[in-house]
Chain A
Amino acid sequence: MTQFPLTDHIPSLRRYARALTGDAWMADDLVQDTLERACSKWRLWVVGSDLRAWLFTLMHNIFINQARRSMRQAAAGATVNADDVEGEMVAPDAGTAQALDLQRCLLRLPEDQRVVLLLVSLEDLSYEEVAKITGVPVGTVMSRLSRARSRLRELMDGPATAAAGAPTQLRRLK
């Protein structure tokens, strides 16, 4: 084990969180929450088991809980402390229009599909590992993956106005 086992995983956690949320601040908050959760739950991690899979499991659970909560908050209008983001609001990526488009379309996928697509594509996790992380059967992982890829392709291929339906992240929960 390296001396900084957690630190070693931060870059990939950040990338995944960024693609998942589409927002630099939300992503780093998610990573921070994950690290803090990991600190408080260290005793539950079994030495020698896959630390990365464990961290992604923690992050997944936090994300899903937050996503549920934010669906309600989004409708009410979430607030951001301007002092906190001042100076950071310039888009950091030299993102091409295509990258922005890809991120935008990604955010239109239902969360459960987006999670599976990104875990598989970015992290090279096996379908079985993704099933463990997300707590669903492998068959469900496979069908979510197919749907995510088909849907993302439609969104990317379609004209920008085609996807005029309400974005999923703004759906209001009763």
Chain B
Amino acid sequence: MEKPHDTPHDAHGELMHDRINAAVDDQLPAARRPELEARLAADPAARDTLAAWQSQRESLRALHRPLLDEAIPDALLTAARRGEAGRRQIDQWWRWGGMAAAVVLAFGMGWLSHGQIGSRTAPGQLAMQSSQSFVHQASLAHAVFSPEVRHPVEVTAAQQDHLVQWLSKRVGRPLKVPVLATQGYELVGGRLLSGDGGARAQFMFQNAAGLRLTLYLGALDATPAAASGASVSAVAPKASQQPSNMETAFRYSGDGPVPSFYWVDQGFGYALSGAVSREELMKLAQLVYQQL
């Protein structure tokens, strides 16, 4: 370990340097300023150092400044979002303490009573947030990845078997890729994402005009214990006494960056997003639904 002042050949000079540093970095207490100014007035070399260090500081700040406004690369966004989802989960667990069962129940209830949330207590609000955030995340993920030219997907359609196997494993349920060729859309590939509650898969499709659709899906009662997927159907219906709670009709959401149709089937959420008309998106969503 290095000592702070292992070369005290000029303790006085070092002290002066400390003060100049503090002046350059705007960390000099106001009370010390007059003293420094008096010293500087009598010391041309110190004035020279101050000016040089000030201009050096400005050059350093200017060096990579454009990076601050540059779009954040996918990989970093994904890593950050994964952490943020994890953090929200922790915060929720703190907030809800031992209410794990109630949270699971809430996912079911919230879906059923989507339209009459106003009078609900906190768990209902949580569930509403989760459904809204699911479709919002789907739309956001579409907006983030569909404009990508070089890396729109992690695994391309050329390795479809591997893609499906991999994503099925990560979301904890066997997945199928719907065929949308009749509507002119071919599979581009897919990627793994993290949502509020756990792993999400995104499949991307593209038509001849280059227009892209994304299908976003994942388990909805994704408490940490349910990450395996086994409890998706086992826990939630029992808690809510209403197996059908985990299914919903098609819903349309125009809130996100692009419109989406979303639905829930057997505890699994699906959202199809794309910048197409509501009618066309509905038709495509039905086509997807029939095949899954």
Is B147 on the interface with A (CB-CB < 8 A)? no
Please indicate the chain A residues that have their CB under 8 angstroms from the CB of B76 in the complex. 10, 14, 28, 31-32, 35
- Residue from B5, B60, B83, B91 within 8 A of A35 (CB atoms): B83
> Do A35 and B79 touch across chains, with their CB atoms under 8 A apart?
yes
- Residue from B3, B68, B73 within 8 A of A15 (CB atoms): B68
Known contacts A11-B69, A42-B83, A42-B90: A102-B75 contact under CB 8 Å: no
Binds B, one of A74-82, A136-144, A166-174: A136-144
Please indicate the chain B residues that have their CB under 8 angstroms from the CB of A93 in the complex. 64, 66
Is A68 on the interface with B (CB-CB < 8 A)? no
> Do A4 and B81 touch across chains, with their CB atoms under 8 A apart?
yes
Please indicate the chain B residues that have their CB under 8 angstroms from the CB of A118 in the complex. 60
Please indicate the chain A residues that have their CB under 8 angstroms from the CB of B25 in the complex. 120-121, 124, 127
- Residue from B4, B60, B77 within 8 A of A121 (CB atoms): B60
CA distance A14 to B64 in the complex (A): 9
User: Interface centre among A18, A103, A117, A120, by most B CB within 10 Å?
Assistant: A120
CA distance A166 to B70 in the complex (A): 34
CA distance A167 to B25 in the complex (A): 28
Interface of B is mostly: helix
Please indicate the chain B residues that have their CB under 8 angstroms from the CB of A26 in the complex. none
Is A146 on the interface with B (CB-CB < 8 A)? yes
Known contacts A32-B75, A140-B2, A143-B4: A6-B84 contact under CB 8 Å: yes
> Do B53 and A126 touch across chains, with their CB atoms under 8 A apart?
no
Please indicate the chain B residues that have their CB under 8 angstroms from the CB of A117 in the complex. 60
> Do B64 and A15 touch across chains, with their CB atoms under 8 A apart?
yes
Please indicate the chain B residues that have their CB under 8 angstroms from the CB of A67 in the complex. none
Chain A residue at smallest Cβ distance from B7: A143
> Do A28 and B4 touch across chains, with their CB atoms under 8 A apart?
no
Known contacts A32-B76, A139-B4, A149-B56: A19-B84 contact under CB 8 Å: no
> Do A5 and B84 touch across chains, with their CB atoms under 8 A apart?
yes
> Do B27 and A126 touch across chains, with their CB atoms under 8 A apart?
yes
- Residue from B17, B56, B86 within 8 A of A152 (CB atoms): B56
Is B59 on the interface with A (CB-CB < 8 A)? yes
Binding site for A on B (CB under 8 A): 1-5, 14, 17-18, 21-22, 24-25, 27, 52-53, 56-57, 59-70, 72-73, 75-77, 79-84, 86-87, 90-91, 150
Write 24 A-B pairs (CB below 8 A) sorted by A numbering. Answer: A4-B81, A6-B80, A10-B72, A10-B76, A10-B80, A11-B70, A12-B68, A14-B76, A32-B79, A35-B79, A35-B83, A42-B86, A43-B90, A47-B91, A103-B63, A106-B60, A120-B21, A122-B60, A122-B61, A127-B22, A137-B4, A145-B21, A146-B14, A150-B17
Binding site for B on A (CB under 8 A): 3-7, 10-12, 14-15, 18-19, 28, 31-32, 35-36, 38-39, 42-43, 47, 87, 93, 98-99, 102-103, 106, 112, 117-118, 120-122, 124, 126-127, 136-137, 139-140, 142-143, 145-146, 149-150, 152-153, 156
